[in-house]
Amino acid sequence: QALEDARSEYERARLALRTALGRPDFDDFELIEAPVEIFDPADLPEDSLVSTALLLNPRVLQERASVGFARAGLSATRSDRWPTISVNGSLGRSAFGPDQEALFDIFRPSSQSRGSLGLSINIPLFQQFQTSYSIAQANVELQNARETERETALEVEREVRERLIELRNAFLTYGLEETSLALAEERARLAREEYQLAIRSFEDLQIAVVGVDEAQRSFVEARYAFLAARIALEEALGQRLARFLGN
């Protein structure tokens, strides 16, 4: 039953990978175990990570762009109160000749040139407070955008600090599981020697061997839990951790 559950979980993971890639037909591939880099995150600069996230996190960038859009809308709305000046002009040349001979000969000596230049000024007067209402509405939208940006920045900062804590806990768990695996292997070795000396029973030896298998499984899970915690932190940062690790 455990084996069948593991196979089902494996197939679900392959399906999730195809969905993430956007290729339902992507099935002809072989998984190769990649090395999992384990490092001590105690030396990661927390404040520098937060500063990087506030500059590169996609959610922060999106809200920052919304603030810029709202600011531009307010400026455009305020400009409705200012007078507008329009300049227009035209220039033409005409030629005359018998039997439409001057149709394409506009540069003949008998041709005439004409031009005009106009200037108009539009001064907005009373518009039933429509401009004031639009300015107030645009100002409210700008303030809302700023508050949303500030809220997003606080959320991103909290996520970075929380995920850094999770990464450090994952590293401690990895160290504990590594020690537990070494102890389980040592217990199994002693159990084999004592079994050969008829000091322990076969059941005791079997329990020790099963303990090694469980410790090995927990150790593997701790390795990939550390990797998942690193990816979660990088997602909050909007950048890889390699720059902070010196590689």
User: Among 42-51, 111-120, 152-161, where is mean pLDDT lowest?
Assistant: 111-120
Bridge partners of 90?
116
The pTM of the full predicted model, rounded to 2 decimals, is 0.69
More confident residue, 176 or 29: 176
Cβ neighbours of 67 (radius 10 Å):
19
State the Cα–Cα distance between residues 47 and 163, nearest whole angstrom. 13
Token couple for 122:
């539009």
Q: What is the pLDDT of residue 97?
A: 57
Q: What is the DSSP string of 7-70?
A: HHHHHHHHHHHHHHHT-TT-------PPP-----GGGS-HHHHHHHHHHH-HHHHHHHHHHHHH
User: Among 9-23, 24-38, 107-121, 146-160, where is mean pLDDT lowest?
Assistant: 107-121
State the Cα–Cα distance between residues 247 and 239, nearest whole angstrom. 14
Give the model's confidence band at 207: pLDDT under 50 very low, under 70 low, under 90 confident, else very high: very high
Q: What is the pLDDT of residue 47?
A: 93
What is the Cβ-side half-sphere exposure of residue 175, based on CA atoms within 13 angstroms? 8
What is the Cβ-side half-sphere exposure of residue 233, based on CA atoms within 13 angstroms? 27
Cα dihedral angle (24, 28, 32, 37), rounded to 10 degrees?
-20
Q: What is the pLDDT of residue 27?
A: 73
pLDDT, averaged across the chain: 84
3-class SS of residue 89: strand
Q: What is the pLDDT of residue 80?
A: 57
Per-residue pLDDT for 160 more than 90? Answer: yes
Bridge partners of 91?
115
Per-residue pLDDT for 192 more than 90? Answer: yes
Q: What is the pLDDT of residue 136?
A: 82
83-130: pLDDT as tens digits: 666 777 676 666 555 555 555 555 555 556 666 666 666 655 555 557
Per-residue pLDDT for 17 more than 90? Answer: no
Token couple for 235:
């997602």
- Segment holding 149, helix H or strand E: helix 130-196
- Name the burial class of residue 185, with classes exposed (0-12), middle (13-18) and buried (19+) by CB atoms within 10 angstroms of its CB: middle
